Amino acid sequence: MASLLFRARNAVLAATLGVAVAPSALAADMPFFAPPAPEPVNEQPVEWGTGWYLRGDVGAAQINVPTLNGANLSNSFPNNWTAGMGGGYQYNNWFRTDVTIDYESLQNVTNSSTLVAPCITNWNVVVINGNTFEQPVWDVCHSISRSRIESAAVLANAYVDLGKWAGFTPYVGVGAGVNVMSQKTQANFYLPNGLSATQTWSGVSSGGQPYYQNLDQQRNGTFLRFAYAFMGGVAYDLTDHIKLDVGYRWMNLGKIDGINTYGSPVSKDVHVHQVRAGFRYTVD
């Protein structure tokens, strides 16, 4: 009987041990399942921005001061030229803005001019009541003028596009900014006999000592001026990205200092009429 109980006890213990060990063994025999891999991210290329554009323009121009510092420019259109570049943004079909920088050669002239000034060409000796006097002999001296005036205008501009018609888009706009004006001018005066007007000689009574007279003038420097503009034109779609832009622009480049045809100092506002053509490239 004791033997039977002993065998029964051993069987229960063996069964209990088997139940405890079986899950571990089963787990050891099961294959390993890794967690699912994340979905690959489909990265799209980054766009610079729809609506941004670049532009470049060249044009014929005319300034309203054809004669300054003795430099004579033609009164006909054109009498100088301009070139520029810039970039902007098209907000919608009706409104856009850009920033431009434009160079213009306002004057680059060396010539004999109509600039004249009264000058002393000689001295006469006169005797009045026994007293000897010297009286100057006046004449008109002419100049040879050299004038180089350049302009670099930086403008912030806003435009209203007036709808598209068969690929053509008319527009109007305004702009304002600063103009850097570089001026290097000089006027050298000469007597009617061709000698320099920087000196003339006195009469006999003073022993022929030279009398100095300097009429020559020059102005050099770089000046910052307020500038503004009004423009209008039409753009034509050559492709989805390129537009041909033809337009007119009136600009006020600020004041310029110089001398008039009589050698007197003057200060004038520089007005410029420009007819320009260029291209706008939309970066999409």
The CATH architecture to which 52-283 belongs is Beta Barrel (2.40)
Average pLDDT, the chain: 79
Spans of all domains in the chain: 52-283
Judged against a pLDDT cut of 50, whether residue 197 lies above it is answered with yes
- Among the listed residues 217, 150, 154, the one whose alpha carbon sits nearest the alpha carbon of residue 182: 150
- What global pTM score does this model have? 0.67
Q: Nearest 5°: CA angle at 106, between 251 and 218?
A: 125
Q: Which residues contact 257 (CB under 8 A, 6 or more apart)?
A: 183, 219, 265, 266, 267
Q: Which residues contact 80 (CB under 8 A, 6 or more apart)?
A: 61, 62, 63, 73, 104, 105, 106, 107
How far is Cα 141 from Cα 37, in angstroms, rounded to an integer? 95
Q: Please state the rounded mean pLDDT for residues 206-232.
A: 81
Judged against a pLDDT cut of 50, whether residue 206 lies above it is answered with yes
> pLDDT value at position 114?
64
pLDDT in tens, 234-248: 999 999 899 999 999
Residue 28's pLDDT band (cuts 50, 70, 90): very low
> pLDDT value at position 204?
58
pLDDT in tens, 62-116: 887 766 666 666 677 787 889 999 999 999 999 999 999 999 988 777 766 667 7
Residue 202's pLDDT band (cuts 50, 70, 90): low
> pLDDT value at position 13?
46
Judged against a pLDDT cut of 50, whether residue 252 lies above it is answered with yes
